[in-house]
Structure 1
Amino acid sequence: MSQILTLEISEQVFAAIQKQAAKAGVAPEHLAALLIEQQFTPISELPADEANRETARTRFERHFGTLNLGNTTSSDNESIDADLAKEYANTDEDE
């Protein structure tokens, strides 16, 4: 059995829900309902259906992003090429 609940949320919260829903390929209202249900349903009672998998995937994908490690392990091709050229030009036979 399900119930209809009308909520008023800020534009900022709605934009965040809309963005996450678009990434997950679901409607914003569907994602909002899933998030609310997840908040108030113990994990042991959750059925293993597609909606819950989608919510878990959405939650997991929030951790995606970029990482800047600085120049130490840079993936800058010009820097890598310069390092390789320097090593190839090194004629020391110490190794």
Structure 2
Amino acid sequence: MTHLLTLELNEEIFTAIQRQAKAIGVPPEQLAATFLEQQFGQVFKLLLSEAEKEKARARFERHFGALNLDHTTDFNNESIDTDLVREYGSNHEER
């Protein structure tokens, strides 16, 4: 179930969201919603009982594994943003 939430943002915050959304190729409202979900997801975890935390941890740990890439990767934000922009702009046809 989803709900519609109307927010009033100052110009500085709106511009920052708009720029970041444009850089990664998503609508500003999607970026804002994703950010809020991530932030409140972390807060919600603090409210879980120990048993619920253990269940969640077990579900998460099922995804653990090894990753072996044939190339080195760079995990800084600017590099990631550049890669995302390139991928969103690509039509993925063989060159």
- Shorter-chain TM range is 0.3 to 0.5
Look at both structures and tell me which one has the larger radius of gyration over its CA atoms.
1
Query: TM-score normalized by structure 1?
Result: 0.46
